[in-house]
Amino acid sequence: MIRQFFKEYSVWYLTYILLSILFIVIFALYRLPLAYFKVSILINFTILIFISIWQYLKFKQKLSILHHFIYVKELDELELPSELAYKDIIIKLKETSANELLAEKTQTENLQNLVKMWSHQMKVPISALSLMAQTDQLDSNEVQQQLTRLQNYLDTLLTYLKFSQNKDDFRFEKLSVKDVTTKIIKKYRIPCLLKNLSVEVVGDWELSSDRKWLSFAISQIIDNAVKYSKTDGTIIIRISDGNIVISDDGIGILEEDLPRLFDEGFTGFNGHEHQKATGLGLYMTKQVLDTLNLNITIDSQIDKGTQVEISSHKN
């Protein structure tokens, strides 16, 4: 620290040495008494010592502030223009650090709330399976439906965590949207059978996209269509060049809920009334489709059904 101090104030000491040499020259040229010179040098040196001690203590304190980023109120002790510049930098760094900590804290709290809600959601199919086992009324279709729900909940949570940590996990390829959709529908064969739902897929779209992430997004929409469809209902999936339209004649969505469907954690009336939803599915769907450069819009009417459209940005 002493070396840093002398480096910081080297100009001062160099000036003192030059002035002392100038004094010597002046005293020599004018043949002044040597005693005056000694007294002058002694006084100046004493003043220099006191000033050096005072400046060193201030330097040490300022260096401590710079090193440890202590409370902002102590930065008011910085006075020089260069120090004020340091002060501005430190305050900006502290603000950035505080914002990062706040964002991290918010993310942690959101994750904790999500896991709590997710654990409650998982209890529903687990309780159903447990009840069937206890009453010896194991129906293979019912068991498969509950297992499908468990798998969907788990996939959604894992996808959320993976997407939050790594948004570069995309592998684009030319694919058939109809093939992707058909495979998803097969996964929901049992839930559709139990509710006697009719599912129709019309058309195709050769799209350059990531198969895994596109499948996730479409799966979330179909899952909602199946979940909120009425018994003996119909789900129609129309695919054309640049568009995917998924329509159902289910219970519909309240008009006031539509603007917030893609907000993280928003469940709306349906999520509270009919399912213990996490409010994660449509939020993740929107995030994924944005990354895939695709739009999503939702129109719905209560007791008439819902229509979800996925389209390319050029449309």
Looking at residues 115-136, what average pLDDT do you find? 77
- Three-class SS of residue 12? helix
Average pLDDT of the chain, as a whole number: 80
Local confidence band at 310 (pLDDT 50, 70, 90 cut-offs):
very high
How crowded is the C-beta side of 30, counted as CA atoms within 13 Å?
10
Please tell me the predicted confidence (pLDDT) of residue 31.
72
The pLDDT assigned to 84 comes to 55
Q: Which of 39-48, 80-89, 190-199, 253-262 has the lowest mean pLDDT?
A: 80-89
pLDDT surpassing 50 at residue 183: yes
Matching residue, tokens 């568009």: 243
Tokens at 1, concatenated: 């620290």
Q: What's the mean pLDDT in 113-137?
A: 76
The DSSP secondary-structure symbol of 230 reads: P
Spatial distance between the Cα atoms of 309 and 312, rounded to a whole number of angstroms: 10
pLDDT for 52 equals: 79
Cα angle 148-150-152, degrees, rounded to a multiple of 5: 70
pLDDT for the residue 136: 76
Short-list 185, 194, 216, CA closest to 143: 194
CA neighbor of 220 nearest in space, from 310, 140, 112, 104: 310
Residue 274 has pLDDT above 50, yes or no: no
What is the DSSP secondary structure assignment for residue 24, as one 8-state letter?
H
Rounded mean pLDDT, 235-264:
92
CA 308 to chain centre: 26
**Letter for the amino acid at 192?**
C
Out of 134-138, 227-231, 260-264, pick the least confident.
134-138
Catalogue all structural domains in the chain, each as residue range(s) with its CATH number: 2-97 (no CATH), 172-312 (3.30.565.10)
The pair of three-digit structure tokens given for residue 303, joined into one six-digit string: 């007791």
Give, rounded to a whole angstrom, the gap between the first and last alpha carbons of the chain: 65
Q: Is 209 exposed, middle or buried (0-12, 13-18, 19+ CB in 10 A)?
A: buried
Q: Residue 96: how many CB atoms within 10 A of its CB?
A: 10
pLDDT confidence bin for 180, thresholds 50/70/90: very high
Furthest-apart CA pair in the chain: how many Å? 121
Percent of all residues in the chain with a pLDDT value above 70, rounded to a whole number? 79
Among residues 152, 141, 278, the alpha carbon closest in space to that of 215 is found at: 152
The arithmetic mean of pLDDT across residues 225-250, rounded, is 94
For tokens 């959101």, the residue is: 110
Residue 159 — pLDDT band, cuts 50, 70, 90?
Answer: confident
Report helix angle 34-68 to 81-134, nearest 10. Answer: 20
Give the pLDDT band (50/70/90) at residue 273.
Answer: very low
Stretch 123-150: mean pLDDT: 80
Cα separation values, 160 from 209, 271, 283, 290, Å: 19, 18, 9, 15
Statement: the pTM of the whole predicted model exceeds 0.85: no
**Helix or strand holding residue 172 (H, E):** strand 172-176
Question: What are the φ and ψ backbone dihedral angles of 115, each rounded to 5 degrees?
Answer: -65, -40
Least confident segment among 17-21, 143-147, 227-231: 17-21
With 50 as the cut, is the pLDDT of residue 23 above it?
yes
* 29-75: pLDDT as tens digits: 777 777 776 777 777 778 878 887 887 777 777 666 655 544 444 55
**For residue 29, what are its two tokens?**
């040229």
Give me the percent of the chain exceeding a pLDDT of 90.
32
**In the predicted structure, residue 173 carries a pLDDT above the cut 80:** yes
Q: Which of 260, 264, 240 is nearest to 300 (CA)?
A: 260
| Amino acid at site 99 | N
pLDDT score at 272:
45
